[in-house]
Amino acid sequence: MVENYAILPCNGLDKCAGVISREIAIKLCANASNKIICPVHSRIAEAKYNKIVNEHALLVIDGCQTRCASKLAAEKNLKISRKITVTEEAKNHHIELKNDLNLLENENNLIEIILNGLNNAENKAATVSDELQYSYKFTYTTFQNGKFIFRVPSNPEIYFNENDCWAWVIGNRARIGVTDFVQQNLSDILYFTPPEIDAEVDQFGEAGEIESSKSVFELISPVSGKVIAINDTLVTKPDFINENPYELGWVAEIELTDFKSDKELLIGFDQYFEIMKKKVEELNG
Amino acid sequence: MSETTFMGVERDKIDWKPTIDYTKCDYCMECVKFCPHKVFELRETEEIKLIIRNANNCVVFCRACSKICGPDALSFPDKNTTTQRIKDIRKEESHG
């Protein structure tokens, strides 16, 4: 069950997705332990919600990818614990949203699906944890540009794609994550969306998303396979990715389905280190 | 930033860039502000105010701009087709 959350919906009343996000927030507040934050009122009377945000975890409901509610949370320095985007959920469940602002059958179905998904994920969250305790020593080589230091592990079991993601391959499993290039560019990471447990991921497919106030980064999986574990600590401590994106900040574990083929489009430390240096130099002119 | 190759394949040979659905685009220009690679170009005085200017600057497999597009007006080619195409080109070139 979704309980003890402060709920910040987008409340964009001129769009169907906004109306849906408002409706979901209201339905979640049928449970008295959840409290709603009105995004409009909070702009002019922030103090009214101080107690609520201090005593509850924050659930943000964005209507569309403009992410007004997320941006408001970032602006007010609120730490997001959970987040959904209505248009993404609609897409995932093949529900087409119309421009109509009235909630009809389609929209009500989507609301039910989202509410069930939120409640199920909440029940499941406690059971998902990293069962594999790797005792492994990462060996880093660093590159400095101005005040920024970029580490890259040079262990031979760690592969990279040119999209700045890594895979540490052990037998038929791989742990995946982003490199220092990503976390330095995003700056303070505020939110992490893990991939779904049991989801099948293609090579170069999306395997989670991380977000800072500056930008959104989709983790582009270096390998294909099934998601068997996620680093659920990142849901509450996404800043672990800033601290060390290879160890504390790993994202997920994948059971590999075709690593031999995936390997064709992966590179090792030597190549990635050079590519990353070039990218850093280009970005900094 | 312009990348000349991706996985050893000339960027020019890889079809990966966003397509703008002008029936959905509301010219909010979030994508222009977002993309650090200057893929998009804003043309304030033209009727079509947004175009893809530097397709080859688009990072292969990156779809981040479509993620931040409120009206969902940006789409990308099929990733698996692109992956296969890159593998085929690499094979052709290693044999050539």
With contacts defined as CB-CB under 8 Å, which chain B residues touch A67? 68
**Do the Cβ atoms of A202 and B80 come within 8 Å?**
yes
Considering only CB atoms, A204 lies closest to which of B68, B72, B83, namely: B83
Structure tokens that stand for A251 in this block: 């994202």
Asked if the structure places residue A132 within a domain, the reply is no
Whether residues B64 and A162 touch (CB distance < 8 A) is answered with no
- The domain locations on chain B are 5-95
Contact B67 A209 (CB under 8 A): yes
User: Does a structural domain hold residue A234?
Assistant: yes
Q: How distant, in Å, are the alpha carbons of A28, A66, A239 from that of A15?
A: 20, 12, 33
Q: Looking at the domain assignment, is residue A42 inside a domain?
A: yes
A278 plus A158 within the same structural domain: yes
What SS3 class is residue A229? strand
With 50 as the cut, is the pLDDT of residue B44 above it?
Answer: yes
Give the total number of structural domains in chain A: 2
Q: Chain A residues with CB inside 8 Å of B59's CB?
A: 163
ipTM > 0.85, yes or no: no
Q: What angle do CA A119, A56, A54 make, to 5 degrees?
A: 165
How far apart (Å, rounded) are the C-alpha atoms in residues A56 and A224? Answer: 37
Of B36, B62, B80, the CB nearest to A163: B62
8 A C-beta contact, residue A249 and residue A95: no
> φ and ψ at A72, to 5 degrees?
-65, -45
**d(C-alpha A125, C-alpha A115), whole Å:** 15
Structural domain boundaries enclosing A149: 140-283
How far is it, in rounded angstroms, from Cα A211 to Cα A269? 26
How confident is the prediction along chain A (285 residues), in pLDDT tens digits per residue? 777 889 999 988 888 999 999 999 999 998 888 999 999 998 888 888 988 888 888 899 999 888 889 888 888 888 888 888 999 899 888 898 887 888 888 899 999 999 988 887 655 544 444 444 456 789 999 999 888 999 999 999 999 999 999 999 988 899 999 999 999 999 899 999 999 999 999 999 999 999 887 788 999 999 999 999 999 899 889 999 999 999 999 999 999 999 999 999 999 999 999 999 998 988 776
Amino acid identity at A161: N
Taking a C-beta distance cutoff of 8 angstroms, is the pair A194, A235 a contact? yes
A108-161: pLDDT as tens digits: 999 999 998 888 765 554 444 444 445 678 999 999 988 899 999 999 999 999
A205 interaction partners in chain B (CB closer than 8 Å): 79
Task: Give the domain CATH number at A265.
Answer: 2.40.50.100
Per-chain mean pLDDT for chain A: 88
Between CA B69 and CA B30, with CA A194 as vertex, the angle to 5 degrees is 15
Q: Is A270 exposed, middle or buried (0-12, 13-18, 19+ CB in 10 A)?
A: exposed
Q: What is the pLDDT of residue A216?
A: 85
What's domain B5-95's architecture? 2-Layer Sandwich (3.30)
* Both tokens assigned to A108: 């009500």
Pick from A162, A205, A216: which is nearest to B6 by CB? Answer: A162
Give the gap in angstroms from C-alpha B70 to the nearest C-alpha of chain A. 4
Predicted local confidence at residue B1, as pLDDT: 42
Which chain B residues are Cβ-neighbours of A99 within 8 angstroms? none
Q: How far is CA A184 from CA A12, A164, A212, B78, in A?
A: 33, 12, 11, 29
For residues A175 and A114, membership in a common domain is answered with no
Q: Over the stretch A179-194, which tens digit does the pLDDT of each residue have?
A: 999 999 998 999 999 9
Asked if A118 and A158 sit in the same domain, the reply is no
Does A15 fall in a domain? yes
Q: Are residues A74 and A42 in the same domain?
A: yes
Q: Please indicate, yes or no, if residue A135 is contained in any of the structural domains.
A: no
In a domain, A89, yes or no: yes
The predicted pLDDT at position A88 comes to: 87
Same domain, A161 and A110: no
Q: Is residue A12 assigned to a domain?
A: yes
